[in-house]
Structure 1
Amino acid sequence: MLKTVRIIFWVVVVATALMQVWDEYQALQWRKPLHVALYPVNVDDSAEVEAYMATLHEDDFKVIAQYFAREARRYQLPLSQPVVFHLGPVIKQIPPAPPAVNAPLLDIILWSLKFRWFAWQHQPPVGLPVDIKLYLLYHDAHTHSRLLHSTALQKGRIGRVNLFAVAAQHEQNTVVIAHELLHTLSASDKYDLNTNAPLRPQGYAEPYMQPLYPQKKAEIMAGKIPLSASRARMAINLDETIIGRTTSREIGWAQ
Structure 2
Amino acid sequence: MHRGAWFYRLRVTLLGSVLVAVCAWACFDVMDRRARTEWNAPITVGVVVMRLGDVSPEALVRLTERVRVLERRLSMELRRYRPEAQQPMIRLVPYGPVEVTEPPPDVPGTTLWERLVHTVELFQYTSAVDRAAGVPTLALDSRIYLLAEPPRSGFDYSVEGYSEAGGRVGVARVSLDATTVDLGLFVVAHELFHTLGASDKYDEHGRTRIPEGLAEPDRVPLFPQPGAEIMARNRVVDATREIAPDSLEELYVGRWTAREIGWLTAPVRQRTESAPIADATRY
Q: Which whole-Å CA distance do the structure 2 matches of 1:29 and 1:117 have between them? A: 30
Residues 172 and 187 in structure 2, CA contact (< 8 A), matched pair in contact too = yes
Match of 2:146 among 131, 136, 140: 136
Aligned residues: 249
Aligned residue in 2 for 1:19? 28
**Secondary structure class of the residue paired with 2:158:** coil
Between the aligned residues of both structures, percent identity stands at 28
Q: Which whole-Å CA distance do the structure 1 matches of 2:238 and 2:64 have between them? A: 38
Deviations 1:132-170 (A, max 9, x none): 211110111134524363012245411111112211211
How far residue 122 of structure 1 moved from its aligned partner, in angstroms, is 3.5
**Secondary structure class of the residue paired with 2:210:** coil
Q: Which whole-Å CA distance do the structure 2 matches of 1:118 and 1:7 have between them? A: 31
Q: Give the TM-score normalised by structure 2.
A: 0.78
1:6 aligns with 2:15: yes
Aligned residue in 1 for 2:66? 60
1:104 aligns with 2:111: yes
Give the letter aligned to residue 13 of structure 2: T
Aligned residue in 1 for 2:81? 75
Q: Which whole-Å CA distance do the structure 2 matches of 1:227 and 1:53 have between them? A: 28
- What pairs up with 1:85-234 in 2 under 5 angstroms? 85-93=92-100, 94-99=103-108, 103-123=110-130, 124-126=133-135, 129-143=139-153, 144-147=155-158, 149-154=160-165, 156-192=167-203, 194-234=204-244
How far residue 58 of structure 1 moved from its aligned partner, in angstroms, is 4.1
How far residue 236 of structure 1 moved from its aligned partner, in angstroms, is 1.8
Q: Which whole-Å CA distance do the structure 2 matches of 1:242 and 1:61 have between them? A: 16
Q: Which whole-Å CA distance do the structure 1 matches of 2:136 and 2:21 have between them? A: 29
**Secondary structure class of the residue paired with 2:144:** strand
Residues 61 and 85 in structure 1, CA contact (< 8 A), matched pair in contact too = yes
How far residue 50 of structure 1 moved from its aligned partner, in angstroms, is 6.3
Match of 2:42 among 33, 44, 65: 33
How far residue 57 of structure 1 moved from its aligned partner, in angstroms, is 6.7
**Secondary structure class of the residue paired with 2:46:** strand
Gaps of 5+ in 1: none
Give the letter aligned to residue 216 of structure 1: P
Structure 1 pair 252–116 and aligned structure 2 pair: CA distance change class (3 A) = farther
Q: Give the TM-score normalised by structure 1.
A: 0.86
**Secondary structure class of the residue paired with 2:98:** coil
Structure 1 pair 34–54 and aligned structure 2 pair: CA distance change class (3 A) = same
**Secondary structure class of the residue paired with 1:236:** coil
How far residue 10 of structure 1 moved from its aligned partner, in angstroms, is 1.9
